[in-house]
Amino acid sequence: MFVTETLHSAVPSTPVNQPPAEFLEALLTLRSVTTPPHLTLSEIPAPKRIAPFAAALHAQSPIEDDDLPIATGRFIILYNPEAPIEWGAKFRIITQIRSEMDAHLGEDPLLGQVVWSWLHDALDKHSASVRTLNGTVTREHSETFGGLVLKRSEIEVELKASWSTDFNDLAPHFSAWLDLVTQAYGNLDPDSVLAGSGVYV
């Protein structure tokens, strides 16, 4: 809807059903956020049946030697002017982050709690107003057979979360999500972009 190459130069398109001004204003607040240089951001199709109006973004870390990124994520903005009871607000944010993990981190029995705490810390850091927050942390451990050798980590972790907000300034939420993608990218190995920063690496 509004992203071409960067948030700062993009111009909203004019869909058949013109979105409400409040929704468009919320999307424009994302342009105040600087995308980390190690992440590539693009617009993707938004879900059509969850809310009357929606927009979605995709982020990924640099492509590695096997032509795959270490970390990816989705940031979906839902808007319903009727403020559904289950949302408790007009805006609902849905996020997803998937990342490879170093084996010694991925096997930690407390990994789910640690990853979930990253979300809380990121939202608190940017003072994002959040209501009805919920989500899941899923860990996948791949095993190989028949001589197949994995080039990278055998463990992948996926964080899915959603929450509502009463405010149409979505910059704090967007900033928190970008921080999470960066943190997921940086937790593959101790020499990553987050090494020495005091986070769980």
- Residue 3 forms part of a structural domain: no
- Residue 129 forms part of a structural domain: yes
pTM: 0.81
- Rounded CA gap, 72 and 106, in Å? 17
The structural domain count of the chain equals 1
Determine how many CB atoms are found less than 10 A away from the CB of residue 122. 21
- Residue 16 forms part of a structural domain: no
Q: What is residue 196's three-state secondary structure?
A: coil
Average per-residue pLDDT in the chain? 80
The domain of 52 spans: 21-187
List, for residues 149-198, the tens digit of each pLDDT value: 555 556 888 999 999 998 989 999 999 999 999 988 876 443 433 333 32
Confidence grade of residue 110 (pLDDT, cut at 50, 70, 90): confident
Judge contact between 168 and 25, C-beta under 8 A.
yes
- Residue 111 forms part of a structural domain: yes
Tokens representing residue 70 in the block: 């270490």
For residue 26, is pLDDT > 90? yes
